[in-house]
Structure 1
Amino acid sequence: MDVLVLIGRLLFIGLFVASATAHLTKTQQMAGYTASRGVPMPVVATVVSGVVMLAGAVSVAVGLWADLGVLALAAFCFSAAVLMHAFWKESDPQARMMEQTQFFKDIGLGGAALVMFAFFAYAGHDLGLMVTGPALSIS
Protein backbone atom coordinates (compact mmCIF):
# COMPACT_ATOMS: atom_id res chain seq x y z
CA MET A 1 0.00 0.00 0.00
CA ASP A 2 2.89 2.38 0.67
CA VAL A 3 3.91 2.44 -3.00
CA LEU A 4 0.30 2.95 -4.11
CA VAL A 5 -0.06 5.95 -1.77
CA LEU A 6 3.24 7.37 -3.05
CA ILE A 7 2.12 7.00 -6.68
CA GLY A 8 -1.18 8.72 -5.83
CA ARG A 9 0.64 11.55 -4.08
CA LEU A 10 2.94 12.08 -7.06
CA LEU A 11 0.07 12.02 -9.57
CA PHE A 12 -1.91 14.46 -7.43
CA ILE A 13 0.85 17.06 -7.28
CA GLY A 14 1.67 17.08 -11.01
CA LEU A 15 -0.70 19.92 -11.86
CA PHE A 16 0.50 21.98 -8.90
CA VAL A 17 4.17 21.61 -9.85
CA ALA A 18 3.44 22.64 -13.45
CA SER A 19 1.32 25.60 -12.32
CA ALA A 20 3.86 26.69 -9.71
CA THR A 21 6.61 26.59 -12.33
CA ALA A 22 4.56 28.83 -14.62
CA HIS A 23 3.74 31.23 -11.78
CA LEU A 24 7.42 31.55 -10.86
CA THR A 25 8.98 31.60 -14.34
CA LYS A 26 6.32 33.48 -16.30
CA THR A 27 5.32 35.83 -13.51
CA GLN A 28 4.55 38.87 -15.66
CA GLN A 29 2.26 36.98 -18.03
CA MET A 30 0.50 35.20 -15.17
CA ALA A 31 0.18 38.48 -13.25
CA GLY A 32 -1.46 40.07 -16.28
CA TYR A 33 -4.24 37.50 -16.15
CA THR A 34 -4.44 37.86 -12.37
CA ALA A 35 -4.84 41.64 -12.76
CA SER A 36 -7.58 41.11 -15.35
CA ARG A 37 -9.55 39.19 -12.72
CA GLY A 38 -9.35 42.13 -10.28
CA VAL A 39 -6.93 40.55 -7.80
CA PRO A 40 -4.99 43.25 -5.92
CA MET A 41 -1.17 43.29 -6.17
CA PRO A 42 -1.18 40.77 -9.04
CA VAL A 43 2.59 40.23 -9.21
CA VAL A 44 2.83 39.55 -5.47
CA ALA A 45 -0.26 37.33 -5.62
CA THR A 46 1.22 35.38 -8.52
CA VAL A 47 4.55 34.79 -6.77
CA VAL A 48 2.94 33.93 -3.42
CA SER A 49 0.53 31.47 -5.05
CA GLY A 50 3.43 29.87 -6.94
CA VAL A 51 5.41 29.45 -3.71
CA VAL A 52 2.37 28.01 -1.88
CA MET A 53 1.75 25.50 -4.66
CA LEU A 54 5.40 24.49 -4.87
CA ALA A 55 5.83 24.16 -1.09
CA GLY A 56 2.58 22.19 -0.79
CA ALA A 57 3.52 19.91 -3.68
CA VAL A 58 7.00 19.19 -2.30
CA SER A 59 5.51 18.52 1.13
CA VAL A 60 3.07 15.98 -0.31
CA ALA A 61 5.63 14.40 -2.64
CA VAL A 62 8.25 13.70 0.01
CA GLY A 63 5.84 13.21 2.88
CA LEU A 64 7.17 16.07 4.99
CA TRP A 65 4.14 17.05 7.06
CA ALA A 66 2.04 16.14 4.05
CA ASP A 67 -1.12 17.01 5.97
CA LEU A 68 -0.06 20.66 6.10
CA GLY A 69 1.01 20.53 2.45
CA VAL A 70 -2.41 19.40 1.28
CA LEU A 71 -4.10 22.01 3.47
CA ALA A 72 -2.02 24.67 1.70
CA LEU A 73 -3.01 23.22 -1.66
CA ALA A 74 -6.68 23.14 -0.63
CA ALA A 75 -6.52 26.79 0.46
CA PHE A 76 -4.95 27.69 -2.88
CA CYS A 77 -7.57 25.76 -4.85
CA PHE A 78 -10.58 27.24 -3.09
CA SER A 79 -9.25 30.81 -3.26
CA ALA A 80 -8.26 30.42 -6.93
CA ALA A 81 -11.72 29.07 -7.75
CA VAL A 82 -13.46 32.09 -6.27
CA LEU A 83 -10.98 34.83 -7.18
CA MET A 84 -9.83 33.68 -10.60
CA HIS A 85 -12.73 31.69 -12.06
CA ALA A 86 -15.90 33.55 -11.08
CA PHE A 87 -17.90 32.15 -13.99
CA TRP A 88 -21.10 33.76 -12.70
CA LYS A 89 -19.64 37.17 -13.65
CA GLU A 90 -19.08 36.21 -17.30
CA SER A 91 -21.56 37.39 -19.91
CA ASP A 92 -19.97 35.62 -22.90
CA PRO A 93 -21.28 32.02 -22.97
CA GLN A 94 -17.97 30.53 -24.12
CA ALA A 95 -15.95 32.40 -21.47
CA ARG A 96 -18.55 31.45 -18.86
CA MET A 97 -18.26 27.76 -19.79
CA MET A 98 -14.43 27.87 -19.65
CA GLU A 99 -14.39 29.63 -16.29
CA GLN A 100 -17.02 27.26 -14.92
CA THR A 101 -14.86 24.29 -15.91
CA GLN A 102 -11.82 25.84 -14.23
CA PHE A 103 -13.89 26.72 -11.15
CA PHE A 104 -15.11 23.16 -10.68
CA LYS A 105 -11.63 21.76 -11.40
CA ASP A 106 -10.27 23.87 -8.55
CA ILE A 107 -13.17 22.93 -6.26
CA GLY A 108 -12.66 19.23 -7.07
CA LEU A 109 -8.91 19.40 -6.44
CA GLY A 110 -9.55 21.28 -3.20
CA GLY A 111 -11.99 18.57 -2.14
CA ALA A 112 -9.46 15.86 -2.98
CA ALA A 113 -6.87 17.74 -0.92
CA LEU A 114 -9.25 17.76 2.06
CA VAL A 115 -9.72 14.01 1.72
CA MET A 116 -5.94 13.58 1.61
CA PHE A 117 -5.62 15.79 4.69
CA ALA A 118 -8.00 13.55 6.61
CA PHE A 119 -6.14 10.47 5.37
CA PHE A 120 -2.72 11.82 6.34
CA ALA A 121 -3.89 13.19 9.69
CA TYR A 122 -5.62 9.90 10.57
CA ALA A 123 -3.23 7.29 9.17
CA GLY A 124 -0.07 9.28 8.49
CA HIS A 125 1.97 7.64 11.22
CA ASP A 126 1.26 4.22 9.72
CA LEU A 127 2.16 5.14 6.15
CA GLY A 128 5.56 4.24 4.81
CA LEU A 129 7.56 6.27 2.34
CA MET A 130 7.01 9.49 4.29
CA VAL A 131 9.75 11.67 5.80
CA THR A 132 7.57 12.63 8.78
CA GLY A 133 4.22 11.77 10.23
CA PRO A 134 1.43 14.32 10.22
CA ALA A 135 1.75 17.63 12.04
CA LEU A 136 -1.92 17.37 13.03
CA SER A 137 -3.80 14.30 14.19
CA ILE A 138 -7.40 13.17 13.78
CA SER A 139 -8.62 10.31 15.96
Structure 2
Amino acid sequence: MDVVILIGRILFSALFLGSAVGHLTQTAGMAEYAKSRGVPAASAAVIGSGILMILGGLSVLLGVWADLGALLLVVFLVPTAVLMHAFWSETDAQSKQMEQIQFMKDMALAGAALMVFAFVAGTEDLGLMITDPLFSF
Protein backbone atom coordinates (compact mmCIF):
# COMPACT_ATOMS: atom_id res chain seq x y z
CA MET A 1 0.00 0.00 0.00
CA ASP A 2 2.95 2.33 0.66
CA VAL A 3 3.85 2.34 -3.04
CA VAL A 4 0.26 3.14 -4.07
CA ILE A 5 0.20 6.10 -1.69
CA LEU A 6 3.56 7.28 -3.04
CA ILE A 7 2.29 7.06 -6.62
CA GLY A 8 -0.79 9.07 -5.59
CA ARG A 9 1.41 11.72 -3.98
CA ILE A 10 3.55 11.93 -7.13
CA LEU A 11 0.54 12.29 -9.43
CA PHE A 12 -1.16 14.84 -7.15
CA SER A 13 1.98 16.94 -6.72
CA ALA A 14 2.93 16.94 -10.41
CA LEU A 15 0.08 19.29 -11.29
CA PHE A 16 1.13 21.88 -8.72
CA LEU A 17 4.86 21.69 -9.41
CA GLY A 18 4.34 22.09 -13.15
CA SER A 19 2.01 25.04 -12.61
CA ALA A 20 4.43 26.62 -10.15
CA VAL A 21 7.18 26.63 -12.76
CA GLY A 22 4.85 28.53 -15.09
CA HIS A 23 3.96 31.04 -12.38
CA LEU A 24 7.60 31.74 -11.62
CA THR A 25 8.94 31.78 -15.19
CA GLN A 26 6.04 33.53 -16.94
CA THR A 27 5.14 35.94 -14.16
CA ALA A 28 4.48 39.00 -16.34
CA GLY A 29 1.98 37.29 -18.63
CA MET A 30 0.22 35.53 -15.80
CA ALA A 31 0.07 38.75 -13.80
CA GLU A 32 -1.60 40.52 -16.73
CA TYR A 33 -4.21 37.79 -16.91
CA ALA A 34 -4.75 37.87 -13.14
CA LYS A 35 -5.09 41.65 -13.30
CA SER A 36 -7.72 41.31 -16.04
CA ARG A 37 -9.67 39.03 -13.68
CA GLY A 38 -9.59 41.70 -10.97
CA VAL A 39 -6.92 40.18 -8.74
CA PRO A 40 -5.35 42.87 -6.55
CA ALA A 41 -1.53 43.08 -6.55
CA ALA A 42 -1.49 40.63 -9.44
CA SER A 43 2.30 40.28 -9.76
CA ALA A 44 2.71 39.55 -6.06
CA ALA A 45 -0.26 37.16 -6.20
CA VAL A 46 1.28 35.22 -9.09
CA ILE A 47 4.64 34.93 -7.35
CA GLY A 48 3.01 34.09 -4.01
CA SER A 49 0.82 31.43 -5.57
CA GLY A 50 3.84 29.95 -7.34
CA ILE A 51 5.67 29.74 -4.02
CA LEU A 52 2.65 28.14 -2.31
CA MET A 53 2.45 25.54 -5.08
CA ILE A 54 6.17 24.73 -4.91
CA LEU A 55 6.22 24.46 -1.12
CA GLY A 56 2.97 22.51 -0.92
CA GLY A 57 3.72 20.30 -3.90
CA LEU A 58 7.24 19.39 -2.73
CA SER A 59 6.03 18.81 0.80
CA VAL A 60 3.36 16.33 -0.31
CA LEU A 61 5.63 14.73 -2.91
CA LEU A 62 8.59 14.19 -0.59
CA GLY A 63 6.59 13.47 2.53
CA VAL A 64 8.10 16.33 4.51
CA TRP A 65 5.29 17.62 6.72
CA ALA A 66 2.91 16.59 3.96
CA ASP A 67 -0.04 17.64 6.10
CA LEU A 68 1.20 21.25 6.13
CA GLY A 69 1.94 21.04 2.42
CA ALA A 70 -1.63 19.93 1.74
CA LEU A 71 -2.94 22.91 3.72
CA LEU A 72 -0.71 25.26 1.69
CA LEU A 73 -2.31 23.89 -1.46
CA VAL A 74 -5.78 24.58 -0.03
CA VAL A 75 -4.67 28.15 0.74
CA PHE A 76 -3.72 28.48 -2.93
CA LEU A 77 -6.72 26.70 -4.45
CA VAL A 78 -9.73 28.26 -2.73
CA PRO A 79 -8.84 31.93 -3.36
CA THR A 80 -7.78 31.04 -6.91
CA ALA A 81 -11.15 29.42 -7.56
CA VAL A 82 -13.04 32.44 -6.23
CA LEU A 83 -10.89 35.20 -7.72
CA MET A 84 -9.88 33.70 -11.06
CA HIS A 85 -12.94 31.63 -11.95
CA ALA A 86 -15.93 33.71 -10.83
CA PHE A 87 -18.33 32.03 -13.25
CA TRP A 88 -21.30 33.73 -11.57
CA SER A 89 -20.21 37.08 -13.00
CA GLU A 90 -19.83 35.88 -16.61
CA THR A 91 -22.49 36.91 -19.11
CA ASP A 92 -21.37 34.85 -22.10
CA ALA A 93 -22.73 31.27 -21.79
CA GLN A 94 -19.57 29.59 -23.09
CA SER A 95 -17.28 31.66 -20.83
CA LYS A 96 -19.57 30.97 -17.89
CA GLN A 97 -19.40 27.23 -18.52
CA MET A 98 -15.59 27.25 -18.89
CA GLU A 99 -15.10 29.27 -15.71
CA GLN A 100 -17.52 27.02 -13.82
CA ILE A 101 -15.52 23.97 -14.89
CA GLN A 102 -12.28 25.62 -13.73
CA PHE A 103 -13.91 26.71 -10.45
CA MET A 104 -15.17 23.18 -9.76
CA LYS A 105 -11.75 21.69 -10.65
CA ASP A 106 -10.01 23.97 -8.17
CA MET A 107 -12.57 23.21 -5.47
CA ALA A 108 -12.28 19.46 -6.12
CA LEU A 109 -8.50 19.71 -5.82
CA ALA A 110 -8.93 21.65 -2.58
CA GLY A 111 -11.13 18.81 -1.32
CA ALA A 112 -8.48 16.28 -2.31
CA ALA A 113 -5.82 18.36 -0.54
CA LEU A 114 -7.98 18.38 2.60
CA MET A 115 -8.23 14.60 2.36
CA VAL A 116 -4.42 14.38 2.06
CA PHE A 117 -4.17 16.59 5.15
CA ALA A 118 -6.58 14.39 7.13
CA PHE A 119 -4.94 11.19 5.93
CA VAL A 120 -1.42 12.33 6.81
CA ALA A 121 -2.37 13.92 10.14
CA GLY A 122 -4.61 11.05 11.20
CA THR A 123 -2.71 7.94 10.12
CA GLU A 124 -0.15 6.22 12.35
CA ASP A 125 1.96 4.40 9.74
CA LEU A 126 2.37 6.51 6.63
CA GLY A 127 5.32 4.65 5.15
CA LEU A 128 7.65 6.18 2.57
CA MET A 129 7.53 9.62 4.23
CA ILE A 130 10.61 11.61 5.24
CA THR A 131 9.05 13.21 8.33
CA ASP A 132 6.16 12.58 10.63
CA PRO A 133 3.15 14.90 10.25
CA LEU A 134 3.31 18.34 11.78
CA PHE A 135 -0.29 18.00 13.00
CA SER A 136 -1.97 14.97 14.52
CA PHE A 137 -5.45 14.08 15.67
TM-score normalised according to structure 2 size:
0.98
Q: What's 1:128 paired with? A: 127
Q: What's 1:47 paired with? A: 47
The 1-side partners of 2:44 and 2:75 are apart by 17
The 2-side partners of 1:47 and 1:34 are apart by 11
- Unaligned 5+ runs, structure 1: none
Deviation at 1:74, TM superposition (A): 1.1
The 1-side partners of 2:128 and 2:109 are apart by 23
Aligned residues: 137
Amino acid at match of 1:68: L
Secondary structure of 1:126's aligned partner = coil
Question: Equivalent residues in 2 for 1:96-107 (5 A)?
Answer: 96-107=96-107
- Unaligned 5+ runs, structure 2: none
Deviation digits for residues 5-58 of structure 1, max 9, x if unmatched?
100000011111111111000000100110011111110100000000011000
Q: What's 2:116 paired with? A: 116
The 2-side partners of 1:52 and 1:103 are apart by 18
The 2-side partners of 1:84 and 1:36 are apart by 9
The 1-side partners of 2:31 and 2:98 are apart by 19
Deviating 4+ runs (over 6 angstroms)? none
Across the aligned residues of Structure 1 and Structure 2, the Cα RMSD in angstroms comes to 0.7
Deviation digits for residues 46-76 of structure 1, max 9, x if unmatched?
0000000011000001000000000010111
The 2-side partners of 1:18 and 1:100 are apart by 22
Q: What's 1:67 paired with? A: 67
TM-score normalised according to structure 1 size:
0.96
The 1-side partners of 2:78 and 2:38 are apart by 17
The 2-side partners of 1:98 and 1:69 are apart by 28
The 2-side partners of 1:111 and 1:79 are apart by 13
Amino acid at match of 1:55: L
Secondary structure of 1:134's aligned partner = coil
Amino acid at match of 1:81: A
